Amino acid sequence: MKYIKKIFFFATIFTIVISCSTKKDTIVNRNFHALTTKYNVLFNGKEALKKGVEELNNNYKENYWKQLPIEPIKFDEDKVVVPTFSPGAGFGDSEEEEKKELTPFDKAEEKAVKAIQKHGMNIDGIERNRQIDDAYLLLGKSRYYSQRFIPAIEAFNYVIANYPNANLIAETKIWRAKANIRLDNEERAVESMKLLLVVRDTLEADLPDEIKEQGHTALAMAYVKMDSINKVKEHLLKATRTLKRREQSARNLFILGQIYSQENKKDSAVFVFDKLSKFKKAPYKYKIHANIELAKNFSKDSSSIALIKRMQKLIKNRDNRPYLDELFYQVGVLHENNDSIHTAIDYYNKSLRANVGSDQQKTYTYEKLGNVYFKNSKYQLASSYYDSVLSTTKDKNELRIRRVKRKHKNLASLIKFENTVVLTDSILRIASLSKEAQIKYFENYIEKIKKEDEEKAQQLLNQIAFGGSNGNSLQGNNQGKWYFYNAQSLNFGKTEFKRIWGDRGAEDNWRWSSIINTGSDTIDSLSVITKNLSYDLESYLKTIPTDTNVIDSLKIDRNQALYELGVIYKEQFKNPQIALQRLERVASLNPEKSLVLPINWHLYQIYNTSNSSKAKKHKDLIINDFPETTFAQILQNPEKKIKEEVTVDEVENSYKEIYYLYKENKFEETVVKIDEIIATISDSKIIPKFQLLKAYAIGKYKDRKSYETAMEYVAVSFGNTEEGKKAKQIIEKLRE
């Protein structure tokens, strides 16, 4: 019996040793290496590849405001450490390679190479291990994700050339096409995919649904790079017929809906996003954003009540907390579309206050709030929100951000003049009060800021006593007791009091500066006095201007700011109501003579479309008081509307010719030529250039007054152009 067991044991060992050989083509050898390859080496390699793909997907930052890429991968060569493998080489041959930390894709490639080298059974030019084609496919995939596309194509080509009847040949061709797309060989990828999906599917054998989805997805990738949107839609539609691959199918549906939305095909977009929201196997991130996109593609002719209820239900779901900023924003958009502005603003603010929110979403919310306030003529508030957009965004070159920046820049001058008006009005109003009224005003102001400072100090003490400003609890037995029993709080309070008030005796009216204890050598009297200037009545009274020249200068600044505001509101923001308020007010304040003509000209232009009697009043004033000006001549002989008789190129060439006349000191001829050309280009944007050149020419051969009048016409008529601003600067220098 013992001999039989020994014989059986040694026979088993001998069989195993014999089956390990890759040079013998036997059933035992083939099955042994196939099983070892599949359930050991390849299994570990595929798990490593799966882990790497999951890491790529999880680390990819989606931007749902733009069209998503079909493959959510952002290749970053600097972050991928790729060792070099060569046929027949071992692993870890050098100490340097051993120290390198392999990525999951490196490990997958290592396992694929190991399977090929140790379990390959290439006998007489024929591979006997049926798992080796899987190993080469794994090798190509790992190289693809490592951004080594040419070596990846080599691996795919090896499978296609040597295993033409393998069951994974179609998948391999798809991966080869994807690698070609990454190498900008889209035409080759399209050709190979058409051969696969059309020829094989119709002539040889029907392809599985999952392979069809992969093939059409690859074609959509190729056509995205070729900017063929119609072809992209066609293949995304085909790729989403069966929805076998949950992750990629959901992504394809979302991208298809985005394309329809960009083409303003709202009904088609709503249909696709609704289908995605009901796709049970879809990853939740796509389903929740599909619901958000439904709100984005809302049209006013459909009922928004159901959509708002749907979004409110999503907001109440605790699982949607990471998406609250986007959900609140979209509810705000729906309310704004329904003209419920106050409710919309409330939801926009909720979006900003959401605990979990992206900076990208915040830029859109800030922009929306800025636009709302801009439409309601609250330009200063709008500017503050546009400023928040610019300080929050990370992509300064985005077209949307550049537009916001331009809008914010345009508002900057308006806000500067508005602040000038507020400041000068306040100073002039206080300066006009009696001495007693001024004292009473500043006493009330000092009491107000004292109260505010005391409240702030008390809040700071409470924070230290009950956990600190950062929410960290104080250590020790005094925690939770009244703050005067807390040594740390008490010491802080004493230090802070002394810093603000200095040394004060225990007596009435201790806050007055005259009570300061000057006997202590440790007090820096200068810092104490400086600290208490905000509570010193005399320091405020000294700032009130009493000199007539100073007060007149303030009035000039205020009047100029009011005029500039009127022009900005009229010309730049197309808001005649506010423009009238500013211009009418400055007209009633007895402005300096240089402003009378432009003020009345702009008032005439505004009233000419709405109030003929008031328009006539300003027209008569210009004609009677400024009869020699260009404005009076225009009013007396209004120009007839003349159709454009010359093209833009001809206008530019004419300008060049006239400019050469000016450079040749032919100033009178320059003026004549400009008058002739202007009569034919009444609607051209180049007119300000002609008028400024005309003013320069007039200044060369006429007197100073004529030159100033010509420049004044340019400054008033084209105030918001570069030429108008240049004319204003020249006028200021002439009047110095």
Give SS3 for 69: coil
CATH of the domain at 728: 1.25.40.10
Q: Burial-class residue 217 by CB neighbours within 10 Å (0-12, 13-18, 19+).
A: buried
Helical ranges in 626-666 per DSSP H: 630-636, 648-663
Q: Work out the angle at residue 582's Cα, subtended by the Cα atoms of residues 581 and 586, and round it to the nearest 5 degrees.
A: 115
**161 and 107 in a common domain:** yes
**634 and 670 in a common domain:** no
Residue 531 to residue 199: CA distance in whole angstroms: 88
- Flag whether the pTM goes above 0.75: no
Of 133, 166, 199, the residue that ends a domain is 166
Find tokens 């026979």 and name the residue. Answer: 11
pLDDT at 475 (0 to 100) = 44
pLDDT at 77 (0 to 100) = 47
Q: Nearest CA to 157 among 149, 115, 593? A: 149
**82 and 59 in a common domain:** yes
**502 and 628 in a common domain:** no
Residue 140 to residue 158: CA distance in whole angstroms: 10
DSSP-assigned letters across all residues of 366-417: HHHHHHHHHHTT-HHHHHHHHHHHHHH-S-TTSHHHHHHHHHHHHHHHHHHH
The whole-number average pLDDT for the span 33-49 is 75
- Most confidently predicted of 27-31, 81-85, 147-151: 147-151
Please list the helix, strand and coil fractions of the chain in percent, rounded to the nearest 5, in that order.
70, 0, 25
Residue 726 to residue 326: CA distance in whole angstroms: 46
Residue 616 to residue 709: CA distance in whole angstroms: 23
**630 and 508 in a common domain:** no
**657 and 633 in a common domain:** no
**607 and 496 in a common domain:** no
pLDDT at 298 (0 to 100) = 78
Condensed to tens digits (0 to 9), the pLDDT of residues 493-544 reads 666 666 666 666 666 665 555 444 444 444 444 444 445 577 888 888 888 8
Percentage of the residues of the chain whose pLDDT score is greater than 90: 30
Find tokens 């001024």 and name the residue. Answer: 438
pLDDT at 547 (0 to 100) = 87
**Torsion of Cα atoms, 364 then 370 then 375 then 378, to 10°:** 170
Q: Burial-class residue 372 by CB neighbours within 10 Å (0-12, 13-18, 19+).
A: buried
pLDDT-derived band at 486, boundaries 50, 70, 90: low
Q: Which of 83-92, 205-214, 245-254, 327-336 has the lowest mean pLDDT?
A: 83-92
Contacts of residue 50, Cβ cutoff 8 Å, sequence gap at least 6: none
**677 and 628 in a common domain:** no
**152 and 24 in a common domain:** yes
pLDDT-derived band at 239, boundaries 50, 70, 90: very high
Indicate the average pLDDT of the chain: 80
pLDDT at 630 (0 to 100) = 76
Q: Which of 406-410, 529-533, 672-676 has the lowest mean pLDDT?
A: 529-533
- 385 located within any domain: no
Q: Is residue 194 over pLDDT 50?
A: yes
Answer with the residue of higher pLDDT: 257 or 357.
257
Q: Nearest CA to 488 among 461, 523, 506, 509? A: 461
The whole-number average pLDDT for the span 313-338 is 92
Answer with the residue of higher pLDDT: 433 or 642.
433
Angle of the 246-262 helix axis to the 266-277 helix axis, nearest 10? 160
- 421 located within any domain: no
pLDDT at 92 (0 to 100) = 45
Q: Nearest CA to 254 among 235, 282, 223? A: 282
Token code pair at residue 158: 């090896």
Q: Which of 244-248, 336-340, 555-559, 678-682 has the lowest mean pLDDT?
A: 678-682
Strand partners, 126: 123
pLDDT-derived band at 173, boundaries 50, 70, 90: very high
Q: Is residue 179 over pLDDT 50?
A: yes
pLDDT-derived band at 686, boundaries 50, 70, 90: confident
Residue 117 to residue 692: CA distance in whole angstroms: 82
- 335 located within any domain: no
**158 and 51 in a common domain:** yes
Percentage of the residues of the chain whose pLDDT score is greater than 70: 76
Residue 47 to residue 53: CA distance in whole angstroms: 10
Condensed to tens digits (0 to 9), the pLDDT of residues 130-163 reads 677 788 888 999 999 998 999 999 999 988 988 8
**440 and 534 in a common domain:** yes
**Structural domain that includes position 614:** 592-638
pLDDT at 525 (0 to 100) = 44
pLDDT at 85 (0 to 100) = 46
Q: Is residue 557 over pLDDT 60?
A: yes
- 135 located within any domain: yes
**Torsion of Cα atoms, 409 then 414 then 418 then 420, to 10°:** 80
pLDDT at 484 (0 to 100) = 53
pLDDT-derived band at 18, boundaries 50, 70, 90: very low
pLDDT at 288 (0 to 100) = 94
Q: Is residue 120 over pLDDT 80?
A: no
Of 638, 673, 694, the residue that ends a domain is 638
Residue 127 to residue 121: CA distance in whole angstroms: 5
Q: Is residue 375 over pLDDT 60?
A: yes
**125 and 12 in a common domain:** yes
Rg over CA atoms, the chain: 40
pLDDT at 476 (0 to 100) = 46
Q: Work out the angle at residue 649's Cα, subtended by the Cα atoms of residues 647 and 652, and round it to the nearest 5 degrees.
A: 110
Of 128, 145, 166, the residue that ends a domain is 166
pLDDT at 512 (0 to 100) = 57
Q: Which of 345-349, 463-467, 612-616 has the lowest mean pLDDT?
A: 463-467
Task: Give φ, ψ of 516 to 5 degrees.
Answer: -60, 135
Count of the separate structural domains present in the chain: 4
**DSSP H or E segment with residue 139:** helix 132-145
pLDDT at 93 (0 to 100) = 46
Q: Is residue 17 over pLDDT 50?
A: no
Q: Is residue 222 over pLDDT 60?
A: yes
